[in-house]
């Protein structure tokens, strides 16, 4: 459904921080016997991130359809090119999440298929909402991923140290690409509508919809393990969700400012070094694994920060 005032006549494209949004061979060769509890000693955290992973093959195809619908209303060629690259990255992300999710179900949690059925219906409903609502949701979700990137990079030793290198690398690299394309959903909303209130609502809608389904999936997995609702499990959930909100919440609050623009946030140095290092490799080099045994989990290239 198109909105009467779209596209926004006041919209002007502004330069991004990154030179380009690169569509890489984003593919991680997860072992067939992958343990769904891939963070030893942190079952709740593993199952929480598995829950978030479960949402992605529903969220990201929806994002692509919604952004494609918006591109029919947009004339700015640089934004159209950004949308094309955004969709290329998101398509690779969800294909990889789908493979991970199949292994998580096969290796312990087939019950998660019930949550997937609910996710499929929920995103079908969202695609029937006005395009302005969809684009505000998209911009809101992408505001949250910017916070996730900083959390994942700045706290990488605590979150990923010693954990399964495939799953850890996958999550960190997914968020690095999220931040590489952090301007696109916001710009698309601004080019289409630009109205403040729907965008502010979208910050909550896009973030808590995904987080909520992720936590529903986590609880389903904990029930399967017979650990729900034990006091110790509840305490661990409070710690893990509290850490998430502490690290990501400020980015949601900043997203609510009327002057918010994701290009004003400087990208983390680790991320800039990774992007610069990858650029020196031959074209189409697969995204490499991170060394989660190294206490610093360094950028996996020789380029210095
Ligand atoms: Fe993504
Ligand atoms: Fe994204």
Q: How far is the CA of 147 from the centre of ligand 1 (A)?
A: 14
Residue 305's pLDDT band (cuts 50, 70, 90): very low
Query: 178 C-alpha vs ligand 2 centroid, how far in Å?
Result: 5
Q: Among 205, 206, 220, which residue's Cα sits nearest to residue 54?
A: 220
pLDDT at 304 over 60: no
Residue 281 is given by DSSP the state S
User: If we measure between CA atoms, which residue out of 162, 38, 152, 187 comes closest to residue 101?
Assistant: 38
Is there a domain that residue 63 lies in?
yes
pLDDT of residue 5: 56
Task: Determine what percent of the chain is predicted with pLDDT higher than 90.
Answer: 94
Provide the whole-model pTM. Answer: 0.95
Rounded to whole angstroms, the Cα distance separating 124 from 34 reads: 31
pLDDT at 3: 57
Residues 45-64 pLDDT 10s: 999 999 999 999 999 999 99
| CA 172 to centroid of ligand 2, rounded, Å | 13
What's the pLDDT at 17?
87
Q: How many domains does the chain have?
A: 1
In a domain, 273, yes or no: yes
> Is there a domain that residue 27 lies in?
no
User: Ligand nearest 26 Cα, by number?
Assistant: 1
When pLDDT is averaged across residues 210-217 and rounded to a whole number, the result is 98
Question: In this structure, is residue 167 part of a structural domain?
Answer: yes
Q: Give residue-wise pLDDT tens across range 4-46.
A: 556 999 999 999 989 899 999 999 999 999 999 999 999 999 9
Ligand nearest to the CA of 141: 2
How far does residue 37's CA lie from ligand 2's centre (Å)?
Answer: 25
Rounded to the nearest angstrom, the distance between the alpha carbon of 7 and the centre of ligand 2 is 22
Ligand nearest to the CA of 92: 1
CA of 206 to the centre of ligand 1 (A): 13
| Per-residue pLDDT tens over the stretch 221-271 | 999 999 999 999 999 999 999 999 999 999 999 999 999 999 988 999 999
Closest C-alpha among 188, 58, 94 to residue 135: 188
Segments forming the whole domain that contains residue 154: 43-120+128-279
Q: What is the pLDDT of residue 303?
A: 52
- 93 CA → ligand 1 middle, Å: 5
* Residue 190 domain-assigned (yes or no): yes
Query: Could you read off the pLDDT of 76-128 as tens digits, one per residue?
Result: 999 999 999 999 999 999 999 999 999 999 999 999 999 999 999 999 999 99
- Indicate whether 31 belongs to any domain: no
pLDDT exceeds 60 at position 1: no
Contact yes or no for 303/277 (Cβ under 8 A): yes
Residue 35 falls inside a structural domain: no
Across the chain, mean pLDDT equals: 95
From ligand 2's centre to the CA of 181, what distance in Å? 7
Other Cβ atoms within 10 Å of 281 Cβ, number: 13
Distance between Cα 53 and ligand 1 center (Å)? 10
Domain CATH code at residue 224 = 1.10.620
CA distance 157 to 102: 27
Q: Is the pLDDT of residue 162 over 60?
A: yes
Q: How far apart are CA 83 and CA 185, in angstroms?
A: 8
Nearest to 84 by CA among 142, 59, 76, 140: 76
Of all ligands present, the nearest one to the C-alpha of 188 is: 2
Domain for residue 300, yes or no? no
Q: What is the pLDDT of residue 44?
A: 98
């Amino acid at each position: 459904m198109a909105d009467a005032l779209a596209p926004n006549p006041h919209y002007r494209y502004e330069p991004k921080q990154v030179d380009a949004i690169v569509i890489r061979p984003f593919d991680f060769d997860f072992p067939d016997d992958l343990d769904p509890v891939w963070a030893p000693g942190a079952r709740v955290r593993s199952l929480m991130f598995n829950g978030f992973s479960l949402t992605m093959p529903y969220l990201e195809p929806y994002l692509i359809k919604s952004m494609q619908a918006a591109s029919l209303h947009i004339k700015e060629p640089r934004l159209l090119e950004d949308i094309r690259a955004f969709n290329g990255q998101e398509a690779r992300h969800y294909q990889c999440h789908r493979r991970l999710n199949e292994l998580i179900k096969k290796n312990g949690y087939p019950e998660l298929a019930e949550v997937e059925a609910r996710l499929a219906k929920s995103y079908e409903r969202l695609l029937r909402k006005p395009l302005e609502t969809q684009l505000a949701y998209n911009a809101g979700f992408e505001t949250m991923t910017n916070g996730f990137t900083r959390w994942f990079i700045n706290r990488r030793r605590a979150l990923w140290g010693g954990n399964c290198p495939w799953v850890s690398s996958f999550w960190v690299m997914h968020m690095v690409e999220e931040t590489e394309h952090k301007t696109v959903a916001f710009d698309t909303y601004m080019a289409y509508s630009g109205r403040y209130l729907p965008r502010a609502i979208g910050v909550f809608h896009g973030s808590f919809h995904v987080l909520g389904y992720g936590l529903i999936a986590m609880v389903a997995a904990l029930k399967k393990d017979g650990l729900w609702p034990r006091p110790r499990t509840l305490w661990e959930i409070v710690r893990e969700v509290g850490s998430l909100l502490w690290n990501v919440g400020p980015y949601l609050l900043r997203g609510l400012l009327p002057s918010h623009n994701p290009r004003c946030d400087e990208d983390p140095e680790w991320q800039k070094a990774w992007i610069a290092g990858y650029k020196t490799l031959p074209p189409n080099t697969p995204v490499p694994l991170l060394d989660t045994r190294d206490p610093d989990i360094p950028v996996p290239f020789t380029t210095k920060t």
